[in-house]
């Protein structure tokens, strides 16, 4: 019985450590206005992608989104 419990606990631990992926939509803005000439990007984050969430992806990109000028790429 103890062996079954150990196997179930190990399986549960593996399941808990594997995280799901999520899709983020990244849009581009210039002075607070969406740039409709560029198609929004669909990006996967989480799991083994190297990005924890949409904001993490946005921050690690060159430029990201500048709140003062309201310009750049914004992911949600």
The ranges of the chain with pLDDT < 70 are 3-19
- At residue 10, the pLDDT reads 60
- At residue 33, the pLDDT reads 94
How many other β-carbons are positioned within 10 Å of the β-carbon of residue 71? 17
**Residue 61 buriedness (CB in 10 A; 0-12 / 13-18 / 19+):** middle
Strands annotated E in 1-76? 21-30, 33-34, 41-46, 65-66, 71-75
Identify the bridge partners of residue 72 per DSSP, sorted by sequence position: 29, 65
- Its pTM stands at 0.65
């Amino acid at each position: 019985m103890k062996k079954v419990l150990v196997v179930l606990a190990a399986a549960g631990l593996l399941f808990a450590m594997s995280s799901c992926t999520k899709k983020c939509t990244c849009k581009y803005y210039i002075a607070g206005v969406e740039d409709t000439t560029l198609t929004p990007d669909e990006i996967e984050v989480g799991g083994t992608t190297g990005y924890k969430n949409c904001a993490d992806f946005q921050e690690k990109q060159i430029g990201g989104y500048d709140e003062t000028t309201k310009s750049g790429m914004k992911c949600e």
